[in-house]
Amino acid sequence: MAEVRSAILGTGRAYPQGILTNADLEKMVETSDDWITTRTGIKERHRAAEGEYTSLFAVQASRQAIERARIDPLEIGLVICATVSPDQILPSTGCLIQAELGAHKAAAFDLVAACSGFLYGLTMADKMIKTGQIRYALVIGAEVLTRYVDFTDRSTCILFGDGAGAAVMGPAEGDRGVLSTRIYSDGRFAEQLYSPGGGTRVRPTAETLAQGLHYFKMKGNELFKMAVRSMADVSIEVLNEAGFKPEDVKLFIPHQANQRITDAVASRLNVDGSIVYSNIAYHGNTSAASVPIALDECVEKGMMSEGDLVLLASFGGGVTWGGALIKW
């Protein structure tokens, strides 16, 4: 079967109503609004309430994306939920989302690639659409990261927020759609950002919970350098593969990890700051949800016109990274 190009047909986003501001954090841990803002660019982040969970927001974002794509959930052949904070160990959050949406003819599963998860999922869906295995895919990035944050550790508790973003992918019309994607990982650097407890290596017990081993641990300085280099390099790679240069890009949506990382990647690519999208001030780092939330905001704001080149890039724990170039 001849290959077809895939395109993003609809997007959506959702997040908790609860907001945790820097002023709130000042009352919880030794920090300040100025310290957080200067080092990260974050002013506030959404925080799930008790009784709220990952699939709740994923379903809301997905329904919006499906409605905008103007398809029936039964037409979806694949549901990928990128998350490091699933509802539960078994079944997958993807299956729970599928059931809520009524997408009963789809294969569904979770994908764990941290902050790069959405781009991993987009890459997989793109290949399956291109080869004709499926017609429509739903790719979701959804997280409730505040469940894994130690609010006595100011190096991590200031960073993470909750939310979900989703995109429906399907056959492209004309010459639009996904032009190129690349995904990578390097597990040698796993302990730069990881959660040591909660799995089969360090199983959850009263003792490990008391020690906070299920919380995120991070080596920020090392991650910063790798994130900048990796996102810039993969961006150049997907551009080169499609025959374009950074100056051809009309909109650059990087993973929202740290404003200084975003600025450094933009500088390394030598792109004008006006085309670089940032929403980190209001969401913090939402891991796999970061890129799709930002993408949906850009769609809603009318920031893309037909034929525009949109560049996506991400970097996360694992370590993982990826990039995608889309002709809108």
pLDDT along the chain (328 residues), means of 10: 86 98 97 97 98 98 98 98 98 98 98 98 98 97 98 95 98 94 97 95 95 93 94 98 98 98 98 97 98 98 98 98 98
Q: Residue 2: its pLDDT value, please?
A: 60
The domain limits of the chain are 6-173, 179-327
pTM: 0.97
Q: Residue 220: its pLDDT value, please?
A: 81
Tell me, yes or no, if 115 is annotated catalytic: yes
Q: Are 80 and 278 in contact (CB under 8 A)?
A: no
Tell me, yes or no, if 258 is annotated catalytic: no
Tell me, yes or no, if 221 is annotated catalytic: no
Q: Which of 22, 81, 258, 285 is catalytic?
A: 285
Q: Is the peptide bond before 319 cis (omega within 30 degrees of 0)?
A: yes
Tell me how far apart the terminal alpha carbons of the chain are, to the nearest angstrom: 25
- 17, β-bridge pairs: none
Q: Residue 150: its pLDDT value, please?
A: 96
Q: Is the peptide bond before 16 cis (omega within 30 degrees of 0)?
A: no
Q: What CATH number labels 6-173?
A: 3.40.47.10
The yes-or-no answer to whether 6-173 and 179-327 have a common fold is yes
Q: What are the tokens at 253?
A: 């949506």
Q: What are the tokens at 182?
A: 């690349």
Q: Are 327 and 239 in contact (CB under 8 A)?
A: no
Q: Which of 81, 95, 115, 157 is catalytic?
A: 115
The SS3 assignment for 202 reads coil
> Would you state the CATH architecture of domain 179-327?
3-Layer(aba) Sandwich (3.40)
d(CA 208, CA 72): 45
Q: Which of 22, 46, 95, 255 is catalytic?
A: 255
- CA angle centred on 314, ends 97 and 139, rounded to 5°: 20
User: Residue 199, Cβ neighbours under 10 Å: how many?
Assistant: 11
